[in-house]
């Protein structure tokens, strides 16, 4: 006669086997319903590995330009302001060329773009770098006036630079000669480059969100 303990153990093992069989069948049915993904639709493995490096590199580059712009404005160093403005424009042009030449979201031409919070911070740093560097250039030009009062304060220079790059133009400060007008046009050009960068980047992020749904 089989002891009661052995009967209970056999019953538990039978229940466990039935549960495992049911789970296996459910897993197979779920797997069959999943859409098949071809290798061309997958993100290449090398892109993910490179992204880990390129995100911090692009982020630190934008942060460096921001620090240079702040130093140029606070310490009144025009040469640093010029280097910052030129460097930001060159950086934006490289990013725009990468966006225009890439074949798809997962097919970068040279490198992968920064993602999510990296890109938001990059945009803020580049905007701050342009505002501060051109603010210093406006101060050094001596050609920006508020009525009859020249632009002499760093805060006023940053304010005028910000309203210029955002095309608000309140009219309280204005250039009086050709030198100041050329600076204004240069900053507007940099602002257009920054705008051209943010629009396709946001569009690609929205496309990724659409694919996720």
Helices (H), the chain: 4-33, 45-75, 78-101, 117-141, 154-165, 178-212
Predicted confidence at residue 120, as pLDDT, reads 78
Predicted confidence at residue 1, as pLDDT, reads 46
CA distances from 161 to 86, 183, 187 (A): 16, 10, 8
- Fold of the 53-212 domain: Helix Hairpins (1.10.287)
Q: At what angle do helices 178-212 and 117-141 cross, to 10 degrees?
A: 180
What is the distance between the alpha carbons of residues 69 and 66, in angstroms, rounded to a whole number? 5
What is the distance between the alpha carbons of residues 170 and 25, in angstroms, rounded to a whole number? 70
Alpha carbon distance, N-terminus to C-terminus of the chain:
61
Predicted confidence at residue 103, as pLDDT, reads 67
Predicted confidence at residue 40, as pLDDT, reads 46
Predicted confidence at residue 41, as pLDDT, reads 44
Predicted confidence at residue 39, as pLDDT, reads 46
Report DSSP state, residue 109: S
Q: How many CB atoms lie within 10 A of CB 96?
A: 16
Tens digit of each residue's pLDDT, the chain (213 residues): 456 666 666 776 677 677 777 777 776 776 666 665 454 444 444 344 444 556 778 888 899 999 999 999 999 999 999 999 999 999 999 888 887 777 665 566 667 666 666 777 888 999 999 999 999 999 999 889 988 889 899 999 999 999 999 888 788 888 988 999 999 999 999 999 998 887 766 666 666 555 554
Q: How many CA atoms lie within 13 A of 15 on its CB side?
A: 6
On whether the CB atoms of residues 193 and 89 are closer than 8 A, the answer is yes
Question: Does pTM surpass 0.85?
Answer: no
DSSP reduced 3-state for 147: coil
Alpha-carbon Rg for the chain in angstroms: 29
On whether the CB atoms of residues 146 and 172 are closer than 8 A, the answer is yes
């Amino acid at each position: 006669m089989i002891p009661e303990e052995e009967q209970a153990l056999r019953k538990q093992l039978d229940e466990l086997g039935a549960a495992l069989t049911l789970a296996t069948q459910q897993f197979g049915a779920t797997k069959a319903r999943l859409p098949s993904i071809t290798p061309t639709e997958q993100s290449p493995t090398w892109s993910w590995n490179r992204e880990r490096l390129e995100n911090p590199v692009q982020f630190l580059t934008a942060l460096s330009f921001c620090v240079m712009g702040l130093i140029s404005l606070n310490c009144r160093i025009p040469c640093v302001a010029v280097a910052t403005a030129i460097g930001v424009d060159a950086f934006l042009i490289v990013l725009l060329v990468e966006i225009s030449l890439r074949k798809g979201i997962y097919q970068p031409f040279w490198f992968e773009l920064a993602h999510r919070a990296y890109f938001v911070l990059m945009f803020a740093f580049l905007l701050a770098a342009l505002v501060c560097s051109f603010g210093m250039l406006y101060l050094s030009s001596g050609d920006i006036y508020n009525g009859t009062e020249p632009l002499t304060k760093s805060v006023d220079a940053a304010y005028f630079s910000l309203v210029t790059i955002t095309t608000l133009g309140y009219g309280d400060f204005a250039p009086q000669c050709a030198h100041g007008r050329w600076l204004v046009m240069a900053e507007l050009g940099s602002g257009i480059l920054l705008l051209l960068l943010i629009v396709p980047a946001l569009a690609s992020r929205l496309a990724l969100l659409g694919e996720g749904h």
